[in-house]
């Protein structure tokens, strides 16, 4: 059973839960202290007979829900009518009070069988550490509440987006992907020192590194998947890679079929924007059977390499045995290749354009207000 929200008579715009729980006044919310002390007007009073929740357990954690249960002494158990649940982000430890500004994190539930599910994308975000404490309460005939002391404080962390959530992002990205343009090379821009280091210290290889925290906060690849970022977008008028880049003036180019072919699996990783009109789609290329492929199979939606809205690899009908490649025109593709690459497989040269630092997506935060690329779970 899902935990409902807060009192129906709370009119503050800060309360997205408005209208979901009845019969708990704003005064009661404001006066319910974390230490269980009595309020000045007696609207909530402490009753020793009410059992304090013990041994709290959190389970079935997702990006925007969890199950909670606890043990209680038998005494006065039948008198319990409600549970008060105090939920806070871990970095906000000092706000453990029913204060008006914190209303969205203070939950009230009728006393239902345990475990019960707490669900709500307006107060739960993915990959976020929370603290939770519980009180038992008994509603009196006059509408006031008798309460127990607060339980111990438990910490937990919400999960990444599931494949269900990623498929919702995928569907949104497909809507704006646009028509497909032909391309022939993947490219990676960096500074000169990067490529010098690859030659001198890494046996002439570019090595995978852990993906940063750019994009959706709930992305299961951020901080976990190892890979090498590539681009493949081309200029509309030339069909070639652009001469500007935010990442450096030296560019490694490699023929598309060296990374993307029938022995490669393709996965959808993320869809986001950075408070601009540009939208980014992250895709993952993983050779079949590789460690990166095993990682993605468990976490990301797989795409048909010959038939999707972002990046395709097909047999060339005009040249037997050759492959032809296309990319989506209206989104910027960030392609992660999961394996080391020898620089000898391509070429490194200096580009003639500018280094546009403002276009960098390194650790870029997703715009949580964009209706195009957000879904109804934590951002």
Asked, for residue 125, whether it belongs to a domain, the answer is yes
The structure tokens listed for 258 are 């060296």
Judged against a pLDDT cut of 50, whether residue 62 lies above it is answered with yes
Listed in sequence order, the DSSP H helices in 285-347 are 291-297
Does 27 have pLDDT greater than 50? Answer: no
Q: Are residues 129 and 147 in the same domain?
A: yes
> 321 and 199, same structural domain?
yes
With beta carbons less than 8 A apart as the criterion, state whether 144 and 29 touch.
no
Supply the pLDDT for residue 74. 79
pLDDT of the residue at 174: 98
Identify the CA nearest to 215 among candidates 92, 300, 290: 300
Classify residue 233: in a domain, yes or no. Answer: yes
Cβ contacts of 99 within 8 Å, gap of 6 or more: 30
Q: Among residues of the chain, what percentage have pLDDT more than 90?
A: 58
DSSP 272: E
Can you give the pTM of this predicted structure? Answer: 0.78
Q: Is residue 71 part of a domain?
A: yes
Angstrom distance (rounded) from CA 194 to CA 186? 18
Task: Tell whether 135 and 205 lie within a shared domain.
Answer: no
Is 132 a member of any domain?
yes
DSSP sequence for 54-77: EEEEEES--SSEEEEEEE--STTG
pLDDT score for 354: 63
The per-residue pLDDT for 91 is 67
**In this structure, what token pair is assigned to residue 188?**
């990676």
User: Checking DSSP bridges between strand 154-157 and strand 323-328, what pairing results, if any?
Assistant: unpaired
Q: Which of 34-43, 51-60, 126-135 has the lowest mean pLDDT?
A: 34-43
Q: Is residue 22 part of a domain?
A: no
Cis peptide preceding 234, ω within 30 of 0: no
Indicate if 121 and 237 belong to the same structural domain.
Answer: no
> In this predicted structure, what is the pLDDT of residue 355?
60
Kindly tell me if the per-residue pLDDT of 130 is higher than 90: yes
Does the pLDDT at position 17 exceed 80? Answer: no
Domain match, 271 and 123 both: no
How far is it, in rounded angstroms, from Cα 205 to Cα 342?
4
Domain boundary among 107, 130, 158: 158
- pLDDT above 50 for 277: yes
Same domain, 169 and 315: yes
Beta carbons of 270 and 220 less than 8 angstroms apart: no
Average pLDDT over residues 245-253: 90
What pLDDT, on the 0 to 100 scale, is given for residue 30?
30
pLDDT attached to residue 35: 44
CATH number of the domain residue 95 falls in: 2.60.40.10
Q: Do 253 and 126 have their domain in common?
A: no
State which of 126, 158, 190 marks the end of a domain.
158
Same structural domain, 282 and 217: yes
Whether residue 223 contacts residue 213, with contact meaning beta carbons closer than 8 Å, is answered with yes
Q: Quick one: 170 and 219 in the same domain?
A: yes
Give the range of the structural domain holding residue 213, as residue numbers without chain letter.
163-350
Q: What does the longest C-alpha to C-alpha distance in the chain come to?
A: 85
Q: What is the model's pLDDT at position 28?
A: 33
Between CA 24 and CA 84 the distance in angstroms is 11
Using one digit for the tens of pLDDT, what is the confidence trace for 72-85?
887 777 889 999 99
Strand-pairing partners, residue 206, are: 341
Q: What is the pLDDT of residue 29?
A: 30
Specify whether 144 is located in the same domain as 216.
no
Q: In the chain, which ranges are continuous DSSP H helix?
A: 26-31, 163-176, 192-201, 256-259, 291-297
What are the residues whose beta carbons fall under 8 Å from the beta carbon of 6, sequence distance 6 or more?
15, 17, 18, 20, 21, 24, 29, 103, 104, 106, 107, 108
How many domains would you assign to the chain? Answer: 2
- 155: which residues sit within 8 A by CB, 6+ positions away? 90, 129, 130, 131, 132
What percent of the chain is predicted at pLDDT more than 70? 79
Give the residue from 105, 128, 158 where a domain finishes: 158
| 111 pLDDT more than 50 | yes
Cα–Cα distance measured from residue 67 to residue 86, given in angstroms and rounded to the nearest whole number: 14
Q: What angle do CA 364, 16, 271 make, to 5 degrees?
A: 25
| The predicted structure's pLDDT at residue 121 | 66
Q: Is the pLDDT of residue 100 over 50?
A: no
Q: Is residue 77 part of a domain?
A: yes
CA 362, chain centre distance (Å): 16
Asked whether residue 360 is assigned to any structural domain, the reply reads: no
Residues 205 and 317 in one domain: yes
Q: Are residues 327 and 187 in the same domain?
A: yes
The per-residue pLDDT of the chain, averaged, comes to: 82
Q: What is the pLDDT of residue 222?
A: 94
Is 17 a domain residue?
no
150-192 pLDDT, tens digit per residue, is: 999 999 999 999 999 999 999 999 999 999 999 999 999 999 9
């Amino acid at each position: 059973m899902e935990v409902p929200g807060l009192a129906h008579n709370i009119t503050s715009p800060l309360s997205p839960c408005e209208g979901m729980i009845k019969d708990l006044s704003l005064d009661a919310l404001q006066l319910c202290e974390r230490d269980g002390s009595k309020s000045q007007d007696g609207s909530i009073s402490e009753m020793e007979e009410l059992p304090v929740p013990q041994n709290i357990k959190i389970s079935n954690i997702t990006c925007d829900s969890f199950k909670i249960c606890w043990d209680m002494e038998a005494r006065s158990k039948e008198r319990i009518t409600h549970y008060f649940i105090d939920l806070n982000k871990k970095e906000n430890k000092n706000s453990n009070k029913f204060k008006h500004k914190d209303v969205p994190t203070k939950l009230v539930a009728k006393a239902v069988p345990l475990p019960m599910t707490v669900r709500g994308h307006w107060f739960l975000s993915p990959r976020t550490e929370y603290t939770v404490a519980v009180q038992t309460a008994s509603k009196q005939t006059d509408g006031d509440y008798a309460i127990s002391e607060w339980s111990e404080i438990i910490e937990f962390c919400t999960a990444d987006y599931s494949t269900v959530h990623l498929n919702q992002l995928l569907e949104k990205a497909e809507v704006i992907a646009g028509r497909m343009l032909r391309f022939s090379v993947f490219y990676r821009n960096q500074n000169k020192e990067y490529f010098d280091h690859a030659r001198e210290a890494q046996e002439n290889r570019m090595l995978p590194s852990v993906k940063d925290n750019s994009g959706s906060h709930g992305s299961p690849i951020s901080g976990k998947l190892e890979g090498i970022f590539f681009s493949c977008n081309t200029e509309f008028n030339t069909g070639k890679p652009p001469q500007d880049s935010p990442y450096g003036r030296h560019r490694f180019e490699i023929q598309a079929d060296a990374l993307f072919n029938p022995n490669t699996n393709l996965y959808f990783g993320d869809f986001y924007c950075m408070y601009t009109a540009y939208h980014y789609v992250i895709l993952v290329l993983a050779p079949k059977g590789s460690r990166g492929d095993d990682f993605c199979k468990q976490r990301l939606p797989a795409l048909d390499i010959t038939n999707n809205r972002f990046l395709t690899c097909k047999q060339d009908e005009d040249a037997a045995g050759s492959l032809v490649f296309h990319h989506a025109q209206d989104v910027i593709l960030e392609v992660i290749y999961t394996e080391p690459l020898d620089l000898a497989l391509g070429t490194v040269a200096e580009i003639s354009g500018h280094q546009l630092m403002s276009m960098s997506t390194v650790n870029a935060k997703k715009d949580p207000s964009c209706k195009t690329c957000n879904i109804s779970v934590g951002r």
